[in-house]
Amino acid sequence: FCWNLWGRKYTMWALLEIARVADALDLREAAARMMDQWIAQLRERNVRIENTGYFVGLPSMSVLKPLLLLYEATGRRRYLDYADEIVAAWEREGNPAPNLLSNALGDRPVHAWYPNPGRWAKAYEMMSCLEGLVAYAAVKDRPQVRDAVVRIVSKLEAAELNGVGSVGFFDHFTHASVFPNVTTEPCDVTHWIRVNRELYRATGEAHYLDTLEFAFYNAFLAGVYRDGRWGAHAVRSHGSRHRAAPHQVGMRFHQCCIDNMPRTFVDFAATAVDRTADGTLSVNLYSDATGSDGAEKVVITGGYPFGDTVTVKV
């Protein structure tokens, strides 16, 4: 299966998002049929999801987040049951890689969980799985699962935070914090921002907003061309230039880091102003912005982070 399931995950997720925005039940059903075929195919071949693809199943298991969105959209129990199977694969006896939940409880940093982290500790894909675990904790009311993600993110901050505000060294967790130089993928920044956004929404802890903001203004924006037409495959702290993103799989306008960049702009904007659980309007980020949540219009001015004063009008 290699990267096949990974690509199908994104197609299914896109169908779900379009269906939500456009209220298109046929597209939602198309996403459901894709997921049904996925589950049936693996079971017919007697293949467990953690044994598919590269990097000890992490790319395939990252389907957890859109799988839960599909469950919430349809109410079909079989999708939640499959989510249970995926999560159970992260706390197996004998501690086979990647056992995210079991290792979260220990004292070892992520890069020390198993030998040769360059072959299994893939940053982008693992953080995609962490985002799914935060959603799973909410759907199943299992705060201990959310707490495991909190512990993993703390481990990443301690041992993988790199010199440009992202985590990992060129898309792997290999104790990046000790490197005097750094190369980081925009894909990693995108998902470092996303997992911190999800933890902020789940816990209300402002620390995750600080981390998100620092990553956006540094590692992320450094990888986006000023005209917005393309970007970097690697943002570097040392050397003469960043590494431009190459075209992928014969497609002139496709590259995974470039594809992720619009998501980050949307995630940042969606985080700037929201409502807390008790209904309070919360201004979380201070870039110049104009927006509305349907009840109030919010205007933020001041030229942050270059200006010294921020004005918020509601």
- Higher-scoring residue by pLDDT: 135, 280: 135
pLDDT value at position 1? 62
Q: How far is CA 279 from the centre of its chain?
A: 26
Q: How confident is the model at residue 108 (pLDDT cuts 50, 70, 90)?
A: very high
CA max distance for the chain: 62
Q: Please give the pLDDT value at position 130.
A: 98
Residue 41's contacts (CB-CB under 8 Å, 6 or more residues apart) are none
pLDDT of residue 270: 93
The set of residues, in sequence order, having a beta carbon less than 8 Å from that of 196 and lying 6+ positions away, is 153, 208, 209, 211, 212, 215
For residue 233, give the amino acid letter: H
The beta-strand segments (E) located in the chain are 183-184, 232-236, 243-244, 273-275, 281-283, 289-292, 297-301, 311-313
| Alpha carbon 63 to its chain's center | 11
Q: Helical H runs in 141-183?
A: 143-159
The pLDDT assigned to 171 comes to: 95
pLDDT band at 199 (very low <50, low <70, confident <90, very high): very high
Q: What is the pLDDT of residues 200-224, one digit of tens each?
A: 999 999 999 999 999 999 999 999 9
What percent of the chain clears pLDDT 90, i.e. is strictly above it? 84
* Sheet with 232-236: strands ordered across: 183-184, 232-236, 243-244
Mean per-residue pLDDT over the chain, rounded: 94
Query: So what's the pLDDT on residue 45?
Result: 95
3-class state of residue 282 by DSSP: strand
Q: Is the pTM of this model over 0.85?
A: yes
Q: Three-state DSSP class for 141?
A: coil
pLDDT given for residue 233 in this prediction:
92
CA distance 314 to 304: 18
Residue 242: closest CA among 183, 192, 191: 183
SS3 119: helix
Tokens for 237?
Answer: 């702290």
